[in-house]
Amino acid sequence: MEKKPRSVRREPPPKEVPALAPVLLLAAVLFLNGLLYLYLSNVHGSSGRAGADPSLCPLGSFRLGAGKNCSPWLSCEAISKEVRKLKRVGEGAVKKVFLSEWKENKVVLSQLTSLELQDDFLHGLKMLKALQSKHVVRLLGYCEQQFTILTEYHPLGSLRGLNETLSMPRYKGFNTWHRRLALAIDYVSIIRFLHGSPLGTLVMCDSNDLAKVLSQYLLTSDFHVLVNDLDALPLVNRSAGVLVKCGRRELRGEFVAPEQRWPHGEEVPFDDDLMPAYDEKTDIWKIPDVANFLLGHVEGSDIVRLHLFDIHAACKKKDPAERPSAQEVLDTYRKVLTLLIREAAVPSTREML
């Protein structure tokens, strides 16, 4: 009788980890880092040096829309002949503002409201001419004799209307924590630019309450921030002992910095001659309040606020000398944006695998 051969049970080969997985992981990480780099380059682009913007023309000229050539700033004669007023869209203490048209382009024409304020008007024009950069609204022309300034038109208007703009159906996709943080980075970049401007350290004095601050800045169609109103921009020169005072009237409220408030109590009537001067650190005090508005109340904005807590607490130091510089605030904002985008990218990478 033959013996049946014993069947040998074969163990299945050990399960191998596909060699493709690490490659996919590496590719995903590199891809997301590349996206992060491009995103941050775009965000930080508005806060870089003026000369890095290829859309800027040489000082004294401008380019509008898709035009390839730079045109010289419009003169009094050109403004009178070629610019047509459409409607008045605003009026402040110093200027009346008109939506206008020049060669089928919408532009903004600003005119002095009262001859008593001509010094403020001409100071604003001087600042516009000297500070042309990617941080500042584009100057198209001016006429000192007629107290007229022509600037680029931005249909989304000032930052005061940000929440209304983001509630519109076509812009709801922009209503995210990272887009809002990018706007805050733009704002702080402008403060940094003014504190280290070609003219010296400039203080944004037209900023006694949140609504007033927001009205000084424009929201561009590609969701960046430009400073628009430079009428009240005095110069600090600490080495020469030159400090500033923002106007000759008493400032009140928690929004303005402590050193801007009357220090002698209610029993002593306000007297501008007794009011101490101050420096650019008043702008730093206001950053957290402006940033809080810009961040809004969208998903993720509270996490951003948590990461910015320490730098904002430093901005609110009572002693101006203990507050950070605008550059230090800007560096922190950028680090937080980079960190949070990378953290958001990690779960996406895992899902891809």
CATH label of the domain that carries residue 97? 3.30.200.20
* pLDDT attached to residue 133: 94
Q: Count up the domains in the chain and report the number.
A: 2
Q: Which of 136, 153, 170 is the last residue of a domain?
A: 153
* pLDDT attached to residue 46: 40
* pLDDT attached to residue 22: 52
For residues 207 and 337, state if they share a domain: yes
* pLDDT attached to residue 45: 46
* pLDDT attached to residue 88: 95
* pLDDT attached to residue 343: 87
**Domain contains 125:** yes
For residues 118 and 253, state if they share a domain: no
| Six-digit token string for 159 | 């930052």
Q: Which of 153, 175, 207 is the last residue of a domain?
A: 153
Tell me the C-alpha distance between 211 and 162, whole Å: 12
| Six-digit token string for 280 | 């650019």
Q: Which residues of the chain have pLDDT under 50?
A: 17, 25, 29, 37, 43-52, 54, 353
Three-class secondary structure of residue 74 per DSSP: strand
Residues near 161 by Cβ (< 8 Å), separated by ≥ 6? 219
On average, the pLDDT of the chain sits at 87
For residues 169 and 145, state if they share a domain: no
For residues 239 and 173, state if they share a domain: yes
Q: Nearest CA to 174 among 189, 162, 186, 185?
A: 162
Angle between helices 177-195 and 281-295 (to 10 degrees): 160
pTM, 2 dp: 0.84
* pLDDT attached to residue 313: 98
Residues near 254 by Cβ (< 8 Å), separated by ≥ 6? none
**Domain contains 243:** yes
* pLDDT attached to residue 48: 37
Q: Nearest CA to 139 among 161, 110, 112, 114?
A: 110
Q: Which of 153, 171, 195 is the last residue of a domain?
A: 153
* pLDDT attached to residue 216: 95
Range of the domain at 77: 71-153
For residues 175 and 139, state if they share a domain: no
